[in-house]
Chains A and B, each alone.
Chain A
Amino acid sequence: MQPAQSPPMPSGPAPSVITAQKLTKRYGALEVLRGVDLEAHEGEVISILGASGSGKSTFLRCLNLLEVPTSGDLTVLGERVRFRPKGDGLRIADHGQVNRLRSQVGMVFQNFCLWSHRTVLQNVMEAPIHVQGRNRHEVRDEAEAALARVGMADRAGYYPSQLSGGQQQRVAIARAIVMQPRVLLFDEPTSALDPELVGEVLKVMHDLAAEGRTMLIVTHEMAFARDVSSRIVFLEQGRVRAQGTPQALFRGGMDERFDQFVSHFMRQG
């Protein structure tokens, strides 16, 4: 694994990568998001914390339109996502735009979601070739580099079912970064892993953060969020209850509910 580089020094405010304004999401009578605002700048590592049902995964999935918000505004990589009203919600107006944005926004899922019919290397090469239309030979080199980056170069010919959860998740990360995304979304990337496998995935994420990549991470790993994030966003019942630097929040006393939430997790851990 390469040594992590220090993030570039910010000179003035970094450009905004994702801006969500008053995002709401409702499933029938169930209001999951009740107006979430968030601006993620280039180079930021934002951990989104919250209890189960606080809407954090739904929020993250709205950012690459795997969920379509019920209302609100979303700007990704400088492009305002075009919606059209349908019923009392929204629909995607321009699927071409969404596909284009998705190809620049990497996503890592809780359950890895590797394509089971393709090898590790094929999983990583699939989207650069078929979505970005890049040259196969070039992509092959980059895919191998990405796999080396997550310590999976020696498993290139394996199928996902032959790997442990931690290995699958590292391949999923390689599959995301080979697209050279401008921002990476992590949806509880370690929640489905056996405890002894969590560390290897967090190590890779830690290195990515140290490279200065823009990352939004939904997680329950409190220690990781505290040590790696540049900002913590705490969601409760579909709203941003508190946010700030890890130092400010984890010191305690800033938000009572956050302190309760953290102490609950720390007790468990």
Chain B
Amino acid sequence: MDWPFLTRTAGELLCGVPLTLRLAGTALCIGFLLAASIAALAQSRHAPLRWSARIYVGLFQGTPLLVQIFIIYYGFGQVEFLRASILWPFLAQAYWCAILALSLNTSAYGAEIIRGAIAAVPRNEVEAARAMGMSGFLLQRRIIWPQALRHGLANYGNEANLLLKATSLASVITLMDVTGIAYRLVAKTYRSEEIFTIAGMIYLCLAFVIAVCVHMLERYLRPGGRV
């Protein structure tokens, strides 16, 4: 074992961790807000709104993330009105293209998780709240969301884990996240086995941390004694 090489490589790869976490964290937050809005649309009383939510979800779940990244990064630059728009300073940067693609992609999955979580709130508990005079936002805030959060948390943790690993695709549009740095090192040294193994271990550790956080949150939110 070439320990000096391994520690040097690990050190260099760790420099990519902040970017990886920034991509995952930002996309998770934006994606969640989008997901909540889409889930709300999916429950709308108006059929066209429900359909548009369904089409959105179908579109992003049905196409590969890598293709979505390519369309945004390479494709958008060829659209004249986007180049002219105020968004162009953002869309011209690989970083924001990756954020956009990851956010849109995760929001489609997140919307389904939220929809399922809300559907899992016992109807009769909602009815009891209505019978006491609750409705609208109060009902959502006090009865529906707290329970939906609990139902959906494990699934959303899963999605966060998938998102973390999906950020590695951002490396193909020049971003120097953990995977991007790994590519560069491999190109320099041709020692792909060791380098990618270390990269994999870094993702493993990050995923573990996320899993622990989700688990702790779940325990915190669980009513006492419930299994």
- A interface residues with partner B (beta carbon < 8 Å): 64, 66, 95, 99-103, 105, 107, 109, 111, 113-119, 126-127, 130-131, 157-159, 161-162, 172, 175, 179
- B interface residues with partner A (beta carbon < 8 Å): 122, 124-125, 127-135, 138, 142-143, 146-147, 150, 223-226
| Smallest beta-carbon distance A97→chain B, Å | 11
Hey, which chain B residues are within 8 Å of A95, CB to CB? 135
Hey, which chain A residues are within 8 Å of B134, CB to CB? 99, 127, 130-131
User: CB distance A161 to B225 under 8 Å?
Assistant: yes
CA distance A102 to B128 in the complex (A): 11
| Smallest beta-carbon distance A269→chain B, Å | 28
Q: Of the candidates A64, A126, A161, which one forms a contact with B131 in the assembled complex, judged by CB atoms under 8 Å apart?
A: A64
User: CB distance B132 to A127 under 8 Å?
Assistant: yes
User: CB distance B122 to A126 under 8 Å?
Assistant: no
User: CB distance A113 to B124 under 8 Å?
Assistant: yes
CA distance A95 to B146 in the complex (A): 24
| Smallest beta-carbon distance A110→chain B, Å | 9
CA distance A202 to B125 in the complex (A): 23
Q: Of the candidates B125, B138, B224, which one forms a contact with A113 in the assembled complex, judged by CB atoms under 8 Å apart?
A: B125
Hey, which chain B residues are within 8 Å of A119, CB to CB? 223-224
Could you name 19 residue pairs across A and B whose Cβ atoms are closer than 8 Å? A64-B131, A66-B130, A95-B135, A102-B132, A102-B133, A109-B127, A109-B128, A111-B124, A115-B129, A115-B147, A117-B147, A117-B223, A118-B223, A126-B142, A127-B129, A131-B132, A131-B138, A159-B223, A161-B226
Hey, which chain A residues are within 8 Å of B223, CB to CB? 116-119, 159, 161
User: CB distance B124 to A99 under 8 Å?
Assistant: no
Query: Would you list the 7 A-B pairs with minimal beta carbon distance, nearest first?
Result: A103-B133, A113-B128, A127-B132, A107-B131, A102-B133, A159-B223, A99-B133
CA distance A117 to B151 in the complex (A): 11
Q: Of the candidates A100, A107, A117, which one forms a contact with B150 in the assembled complex, judged by CB atoms under 8 Å apart?
A: A117
CA distance A126 to B128 in the complex (A): 12
Nearest opposing residue in chain A for B141, CB measure: A130
| Smallest beta-carbon distance A139→chain B, Å | 13
CA distance A157 to B150 in the complex (A): 20
Nearest opposing residue in chain A for B126, CB measure: A113
CA distance A109 to B127 in the complex (A): 10
Knowing that A116-B125, A127-B133 touch, tell me 10 more A-B residue pairs with CB under 8 angstroms.
A66-B127, A102-B133, A103-B132, A114-B128, A116-B147, A119-B223, A127-B134, A130-B138, A159-B223, A159-B226
User: CB distance A179 to B135 under 8 Å?
Assistant: no
CA distance A172 to B128 in the complex (A): 10
Q: Of the candidates B124, B127, B150, B225, which one forms a contact with A159 in the assembled complex, judged by CB atoms under 8 Å apart?
A: B225
CA distance A184 to B204 in the complex (A): 57
CA distance A227 to B142 in the complex (A): 39
Hey, which chain B residues are within 8 Å of A101, CB to CB? 133
| Smallest beta-carbon distance A2→chain B, Å | 24
Hey, which chain A residues are within 8 Å of B130, CB to CB? 66, 102
Nearest opposing residue in chain B for A115, CB measure: B125
Which residue, of A66, A102, A114, A158, has the highest number of chain B Cβ atoms within 10 A? A102
| Smallest beta-carbon distance B3→chain A, Å | 52
CA distance A52 to B34 in the complex (A): 46
CA distance A105 to B150 in the complex (A): 31
User: CB distance A162 to B225 under 8 Å?
Assistant: yes
User: CB distance B124 to A179 under 8 Å?
Assistant: no
Known contacts: A159-B225, A159-B226, A161-B225. The answer to whether A109 contacts B124 by CB under 8 A is yes
User: CB distance B128 to A130 under 8 Å?
Assistant: no
| Smallest beta-carbon distance B221→chain A, Å | 8
Hey, which chain B residues are within 8 Å of A105, CB to CB? 131
User: CB distance A130 to B147 under 8 Å?
Assistant: no
Q: Of the candidates B133, B224, B226, which one forms a contact with A131 in the assembled complex, judged by CB atoms under 8 Å apart?
A: B133
Nearest opposing residue in chain B for A99, CB measure: B133
User: CB distance B133 to A100 under 8 Å?
Assistant: yes
| Smallest beta-carbon distance B118→chain A, Å | 14
User: CB distance B135 to A115 under 8 Å?
Assistant: no
CA distance A99 to B136 in the complex (A): 11
CA distance A130 to B122 in the complex (A): 20
Hey, which chain B residues are within 8 Å of A179, CB to CB? 132
User: CB distance B135 to A99 under 8 Å?
Assistant: yes
